[in-house]
Structure 1
């Protein structure tokens, strides 16, 4: 079969930049087997009820064939009353069991879909923080929305319907073999066309649907990025460029959409031709057999009706198997997180102290490209260290290494002599906390947002934490105070207020070592200065590593580390570095005037 070729370009190309992988065949099969094991009883019950429904549906053709056979033999006693009564009873039984099949199939599909959603969320939350930080917005968004939506239909209907269709078709073929054995081989005449058509289609469909899904993820990523950076796009007059990029990705995505539509436009006529061949072969071959006296007219009637009934299960199998091709791609994208090994950690690795040490650390996000090189830094317990330097120098990356978010490529980052990379993530978070410019206010009450940091804290502790970050006044002014709904759909908080909530969580978490990555950058200079002074009282005695956005933060630090081009170029106190008249002194003069 020759037709439309797949697009020459590959909209799946953006997938190369994804950090969340697509699950391989082994991962998908393993997860499917796990789902079947969880719902084994429900599957067996569905198949059992479906078997009874199909068996009841074959009573009608058998009774009609018997009547036709009697008529053809000239019998005067047709027992129509008994035939009608049995036929009516079979219809009632069939209707009852078909209702149960649909009901139990829908319930089974919803339960499997709920399991899938929960498994994806639980697995995603358990991934290493660095993996999620590097994941593209469009990829994450498309997996949790589009892929889930595509799987919803498959889980609700495709899986139960496929099981129903396979059982249905098998029972009908078995019924034909029992009631009219010579006609059963006639079904084989349609097999070659069906096999060739399906092999042609299913050889191309999985990769096409995979590229279509990746193309949609690229479209979603481009749109989300443009919306998120709307002000930057407007300020730099990048609107036309962003529109052009989005349109290009849309063109690539729609090209794959057209190609998958073309594949279906070939498959469906093949299926229709198969139905015609099945029925015609049974009638023609059966007619010859009747004329030769090898079978009766009643057997031919029963066989023709059963052959006609095969149309529905074959349509179900092929239709939903096609749907499963789309679902398989989405399922592979969702269970791909299983291919990422969670941070195992070693429970026996315990810090013996609070000193933080980076020893000859090299780190990079891409293979062979180091962002940090030959970095060594010692942070004494209770001291305050400021990381300063130009944008892109590696300050935030170093802060994440010290917080245990990332592990070094070479070298060691230790807390109390224990390597952070070897400690379980929960233990690291109990000792070290990171607060950066990015923060989130969850939908819910102000109290719920604060309790994320320490579940079980009472109202007095919550108010104390808000007061420590100068958020007490506006929080008490809310209509329901701590019970006020905030976030999307609730009270809209300013960026500064959201940042104060993030800092209040930090106070509640009460770690002994803090990494503040420009944590007050969204506040105006006066408010930021006041907030930092308030925090200074709360953080007294704790180790603080601050990525300094404003140099007055560095001025107050015990030690200042100047990061340039991935290396620490200067190290010392504010007065020492000003006297040295190096990079820090130049930054101080340009900022302070």
Structure 2
């Protein structure tokens, strides 16, 4: 039960809802317990009338009043149970929102290394499954457990008042039934964990396949992907058979024991009534009370089953929540400005519409939180410094070896080298996504460890080979570079990126929905949107990571025009495969096997006989076969 207790502590902001649900449960139980007493009294009144002990007119008046009493308690029971149900519905949704927001917040501050080993689909599947199972249990538990507990205690006390052996049998049946149910828990949870693992893997692969469906189709691999997907769910089917067989065998045993205990209860009540120890009304009262207890006992297996699913789901959830965050991750806040701390609550306004700009045609709202400061880089200090940097993605396998280089303010420096030479790794270190194993990286003379990560990344604009656009409108994607930008600022950035003409040709212009990852746009159009986004960000340092390598010549020229505008007056670090894109740089740094090989101007390195000279020679010779090994993606 420890994971369930942890969930309650984790969502203690919902305490008012818990208390309201308990209060409604108490009132519902009291109303339900009143009904057997009224029925018992009515039975005795009718029996007395038939025996001639009670005048018929008095008996009729009494039973009519008792019937009215039954109506009142039934209506009250319905009212209280539905009010409690309303609180339960709102509470479970608040819990879903709270757990989801905290899960997302945690993902946003996890180190990049964590994402390197996780599939996107698996992360999403874990969120959906874990939170669904936890909130389902919370809703069921809150609506059933308090009423069940109160009813059971009351029935045991009332039974003890009439004859103590009845209470003894009732006291025995609950722990016995729970004990028999708990015998299945270890096996059940182990099998549930194995099923969850297969479902998460299948879901992760599903997301990958759908995201790269063109690749799957082009390699005619639909059958193989379907076979693998079906295999995973086939394994869950086998596990479910084993799990269900074990559970239902135990359920037969539980129900048999339960029936034997209730047989004893009924036999005692009938025998005592026949002996005259109980009146007919008391017999009806006790039978009604026993019937009220039987349902909660039988539903105990459902409660425990749901609890086990919640426990299994919460383990996956808290496994992610327990992963150490990036030491330099920013302190995140919701749109309302409130920090998403462990003891915070999620307000209606926060959850209902966190991103109004996601609606077509909506303007981008200004963030209520202050924007991170941008680094002030002195002119007499290197803008970027790598000082004897060693780095490894995996222990013992360095991909950068003793890398040392400086980039002056306003200088354009290109990184050139073979595939796997470490160029993109340098960019990852500069952005603070990873930490060097040895050495240090400085920006503006300050060690990255001393710069708030939001300030660092606000000071660096990046244009990747993949434009990495979001679904939504063109305006929203450009404004992603600076939330709160005005419409005119967005349009000005698009003009400078050489993107305004094609945007205005769309029927909806800047409000055009571009689809997932911008699939409704051409490659050149996506890159110009990405350039406009970087222009709007207006960061003092610019990184171009293969920004034009995937484009045809015409699109490259259009994008390059925007890049020239973007690079003006900025410190620029450029990774490029096409030498035409780096012909105008101030210096070139060549990398070989993760080490700096040469540093010099394009003219100097063209005569040195090194990597850059080889590239020039191969490009001049037009040898595509030899040039392929220099398809540099770092």
The normalised TM-score by structure 1 is 0.85
Report the equivalent of 2:289. Answer: 306
339-348 or 451-460: which moved more? 339-348
Instruction: Give 1:3-82 correspondences, 5 Å limit.
Output: 29-35=5-11, 37-66=12-41, 76-77=53-54, 79-82=62-65
Report the equivalent of 2:259. Answer: 276
Relative distance call for 1:469 and 1:169 in structure 2 (3 A) is farther
For the pair 1:447 / 2:475, whether they are aligned, the reply is: yes
Q: Kindly provide the CA deviation profile for residues 331-379 of structure 1, in whole angstroms up to 9, marking residues without a partner as x.
A: 3333444323434449999876452112222223333333333322222
For the pair 1:190 / 2:167, whether they are aligned, the reply is: no
For the pair 1:486 / 2:539, whether they are aligned, the reply is: no
Instruction: Name the CA distance, whole Å, in 2 between partners of 1:406 and 1:323.
Output: 41
Relative distance call for 1:505 and 1:350 in structure 2 (3 A) is closer
Instruction: Name the CA distance, whole Å, in 2 between partners of 1:390 and 1:46.
Output: 65
Report the equivalent of 1:388. Answer: 416
Q: Kindly provide the CA deviation profile for residues 476-516 of structure 1, in whole angstroms up to 9, marking residues without a partner as x.
A: 11223223333359993223322222221111111111222
Relative distance call for 1:317 and 1:377 in structure 2 (3 A) is farther
Report the equivalent of 1:120. Answer: 103
Instruction: Give 1:417-428 correspondences, 5 Å limit.
Output: 417-428=445-456
Instruction: Name the CA distance, whole Å, in 1 between partners of 2:443 and 2:263.
Output: 79
Structure 1: gaps spanning 5 or more residues: 1-24
Contact kept, 8 Å, 1:514 with 1:542, in 2: the verdict is yes
Instruction: Name the CA distance, whole Å, in 2 between partners of 1:541 and 1:437.
Output: 22
Structure 2: gaps spanning 5 or more residues: 331-372, 622-634
Report the equivalent of 1:511. Answer: 539
Residue of 436, 451, 471 corresponding to 1:408: 436
SS for the counterpart of 1:310 is helix
Report the equivalent of 1:550. Answer: 578
226-235 or 193-202: which moved more? 226-235
Report the equivalent of 2:337. Answer: none
SS for the counterpart of 2:143 is helix
Residue of 493, 498, 501 corresponding to 1:470: 498
For the pair 1:142 / 2:125, whether they are aligned, the reply is: yes
Instruction: Name the CA distance, whole Å, in 2 between partners of 1:422 and 1:307.
Output: 70
Relative distance call for 1:566 and 1:28 in structure 2 (3 A) is farther
Relative distance call for 1:310 and 1:346 in structure 2 (3 A) is closer
Per-residue deviation, 1:90: 2.0
Instruction: Give 1:154-553 correspondences, 5 Å limit.
Output: 154-178=137-161, 180-191=163-174, 193-235=176-218, 238=221, 241-287=224-270, 298-345=281-328, 353=378, 355-487=383-515, 492-553=520-581
Relative distance call for 1:96 and 1:241 in structure 2 (3 A) is closer
- Where relative contact order (Cα < 8 A, 6+ residues apart) is larger, the structure is 1
Instruction: Name the CA distance, whole Å, in 1 between partners of 2:520 and 2:606.
Output: 43
SS for the counterpart of 1:382 is coil
Paired residue total: 568
Instruction: Name the CA distance, whole Å, in 2 between partners of 1:234 and 1:559.
Output: 43
Contact kept, 8 Å, 1:50 with 1:168, in 2: the verdict is no
Instruction: Name the CA distance, whole Å, in 2 between partners of 1:492 and 1:112.
Output: 37
SS for the counterpart of 2:304 is helix
Relative distance call for 1:278 and 1:343 in structure 2 (3 A) is same
Relative distance call for 1:230 and 1:456 in structure 2 (3 A) is closer
Contact kept, 8 Å, 1:355 with 1:415, in 2: the verdict is yes
Contact kept, 8 Å, 2:21 with 2:142, in 1: the verdict is no
Contact kept, 8 Å, 1:349 with 1:418, in 2: the verdict is no
The normalised TM-score by structure 2 is 0.80
Aligned-residue RMSD, C-alpha:
3.3
Contact kept, 8 Å, 2:390 with 2:437, in 1: the verdict is yes
Relative distance call for 1:421 and 1:544 in structure 2 (3 A) is same
Report the equivalent of 2:357. Answer: none
Instruction: Name the CA distance, whole Å, in 2 between partners of 1:82 and 1:240.
Output: 72
SS for the counterpart of 2:394 is coil
Instruction: Name the CA distance, whole Å, in 2 between partners of 1:232 and 1:491.
Output: 15
